[in-house]
Structure 1
Amino acid sequence: GGVRLPIVILCGIRTREEAYEVLEKGLTPVLYDLAVVETLSQESAKPGKMARIYLKVDTGMGRLGIPHNDIGPFLQQIAPLRNLHIEGFTSHLATADEPEGRFSQDQIESFEKAISIGRSMGLDLPLNNMANSAGIMCHEKTHFNMVRPGIMLYGGLPSPDFISPRSLTPVMHFRAQVLQVRDLPGKTPISYGRTYYTEGPCRIAVVSAGYGDGLSRNLSNRGKVLINGEKAAIIGAVCMNLTVCDITGIKEVQPGDEVVFLGSQGGGSIKGDDIARSAGTISYEVFCSIGRKNIREYLS
């Protein structure tokens, strides 16, 4: 049981303790700092193990990495170190969701040059990788020997206006239950801060999920849910583990009924981009915010 393929730590390691741990567990860190590479070499020498690593090359993201123009000097500095096997170089695209963008081409060329320098210095570099989801779908030259799908694993798109050349099916659902159904008169305040008052007689459903479960408070008075296949508005402030929805006009809603915040129900659907648009964020944050507190069911 368990994961049998190599596990890569994309953001690397920092401490000697972490170096020891990756060696013990056979993990493969992505490195970009000379001192950390030296530490891992020292730790791997003690048990005589070979540490497998990737080197992160910054080709234009301006985030983690060795500047692509400095890859030659960096490799010269680590050349004397023992017990290290460089699996490949890795980099990250900054604007891959712009299919015609020149900047991605510049990044690709910088990465290819870095790989060429590495191989000229005797490195094999069998597993170079650069493509995120948008790169996989729009920039074939970024595929190299390995790709790194992220949001497309959820069936999501890199950006709301992204035109996908492939048909993706959303695979993640976030569901809760109706706890109580109530009929309220007009001018009734709803939830903390009284940010919403019913305009007239209204039927509400109190639902068993809130920001403690990963819902954004920005969905207060803005978001939608699916109940019995129909969309219902979130009214009032989203609470820690409760949310109030206006179900006026939706028939036969009862306690225990399924409520869908993300996913499909009946003929309706709510996608990550729909939630992101209502919350003023991006779908990546929507997927990542659904916390470990929730019961997760994995379907094959």
Structure 2
Amino acid sequence: MQLKQPTTNASGSVRPTHVEVNLDYLCQNLKAIREKTSPAKVMIILKANAYGHGLDAVARHLAPHADYIGVAVLEEGIILREMGIQTPILVLGGIWEEQIPEFIKHDLTLTASSVERLQQIDRVAENLGKKAIVHLKIDTGMERIGVHYYSAHTLQETALGCKHVLTEGIYSHFANSDAEDLSHARLQLARFNEVLHFYEKHSLPTPLRHIANSGAVLQLPEANFDIVRPGILLYGVYPSDEVERTVTVKPALSWSSKVVYFKVTQPGHPVSYGSTWQSDENVRVVTIPVGYGDGYFRAMSDKAEVIIQGVKVPQVGRICMDQIVVNLGPEGSGYNGDKVVLIGEMDGQRITAEDLARWAGTIPYEILTNINTRVPRVYVKTEK
């Protein structure tokens, strides 16, 4: 059942190069994560256009099933509120004092990553006659934002004196929870537990605790605490090749196009910019309307594969901004209008985001989040 066509051509049909997102798979993945981590609550991470899946549709579908939402920047939180999403939203990134009124206006939870920032939040909330909700950010080993674990007590003590701030949560972030060697992750966890001891030591109620990202959900059940924060795992992609796959998830996103041109290329006639590839025999090649302008990385040139008529075939020559060329070989079959799978399955053959990441020399996160917004997203639900 097709739910939405966000971009159409003049005839009303979806651009041949488009992404399909299965909303039911997202719900199934969330359910599997919840079953694995119960009784912890689940914060779904919707930053970066819901990891390339489309913020609007994904948020509307998943928000009713989530306890919290996590985003990276203020603007993402405001978009969700303007959509009518009422689920609690934590903005995980750093903030500036000038932004604080907007957080409070839109009922967004702030990350308090320093004593100075916490005091600013308190002052602004007092001036507005409101109470701001914050989660304290502790740096246990990322060296990004947050107070170092060894001086966290200063931030915790400051929070106790803020009259216009509700310290709802306290959190950190793993740097290596998706690795085979979990020694650094366990060191971070020990540091976080040390910080949390502050509350017991002073006979104070402990705020909601969270540190578990996708890797930790899979490999560190002792890090579940009160909330878990699945990101890429929610979308059906594992965070690394090393991670234990203790939760079964399905990729929600597939990416396809169609053959737009067919020709026979003779020996000694190089293909595409730079003339980096040519055949030593007559070969059938087809052109596909997708390129690095869509997020199909140029770094994959002469490494990528696509599926046409159920057969994996190689991309050849340099990937262009808007087009690629695929080699069907001397006898291969392909016709104008044939479906071309870029990510997904056809007739038992499969190409994954992990495959594209390997060809591009990057990670699946970058593959998914770089699929350009000019690529239409079409949303489907599995027929019951």
Establish whether TM, by shorter chain, passes 0.5. Answer: yes
Aligned pair 1:250/2:332, yes or no?
yes
Q: Tell me which of the two structures has the higher relative contact order, counting C-alpha pairs closer than 8 angstroms and 6 or more residues apart.
A: 2
Q: Match of 1:46?
A: 127
Q: Is the 8 A contact 1:99 1:139 kept in 2?
A: no
One-letter code of the match for 2:87?
L
Q: TM-score, normalised by structure 1?
A: 0.93
CA deviation after TM superposition for structure 1 residue 287, in Å: 1.3
Which residue does 2:282 correspond to in 1?
201
Q: TM-score, normalised by structure 2?
A: 0.73
Q: Which of structure 1's runs of 4+ aligned residues deviate more than 6 A?
A: none
Task: Look up the match of 2:86.
Answer: 4
CA distance in 2 between partners of 1:89 and 1:149 (Å): 17
Alignment of 1:1-300 (within 5 A): 2-16=84-98, 18-98=99-179, 101-118=182-199, 120-121=201-202, 124-248=205-329, 249-251=331-333, 253-300=334-381
Partners of 1:121 and 1:246 lie apart in 2 by 69
CA deviation string 1:68-116 (max 9, x = no partner): 1111122233433331111111111122123552222221111112122
Aligned-CA RMSD value:
1.8
User: What is the distance in 1 between the residues matched to 2:291 and 2:216?
Assistant: 34
| More off after superposition, 118-127 vs 237-246 | 118-127
1:131-183 CA deviation, whole Å, 9 max, x = no partner?
11110011011100010111111211121233312222222111122111111
The CA deviation at 1:126 is: 3.9
SS in 1 for 2:128: coil
On the 8 A contact 1:23/1:44 being kept in 2, the answer is yes
Tell me how far apart the structure 1 counterparts of residues 283 and 181 of structure 2 sit (CA, whole Å): 50
3-state SS of paired residue (1:182):
strand
Secondary structure of 1:286's counterpart equals helix
Distance, in Å, in 1 between the alignment partners of 2:286 and 2:86 is 45
- Helix, strand or coil: the match of 1:137? helix
Q: Deviations over 1:37-94 (max 9, x none)?
A: 2222222123321111111111112222110111112223343333111111111112
Give the conservation status (yes or no) of the 8 Å contact 1:86–1:123. Answer: no
Q: Verify the 8 A CA contact 1:92 1:132 in the aligned structure 2.
A: yes
State the secondary structure of the residue aligned to 1:61: coil
Given that 1:264 and 1:270 are in contact with CA atoms closer than 8 Å, whether structure 2 keeps it comes out as yes
- Contact 1:189/1:197 (<8 A) preserved: yes
| Structure 2 residue ranges without an equivalent (≥5) | 1-82
Deviations 1:185-212 (A, max 9, x none): 1111111111111221111111111111
Number of matched residues? 298
C-alpha distance in structure 1 between counterparts of 2:268 and 2:181, whole Å: 52
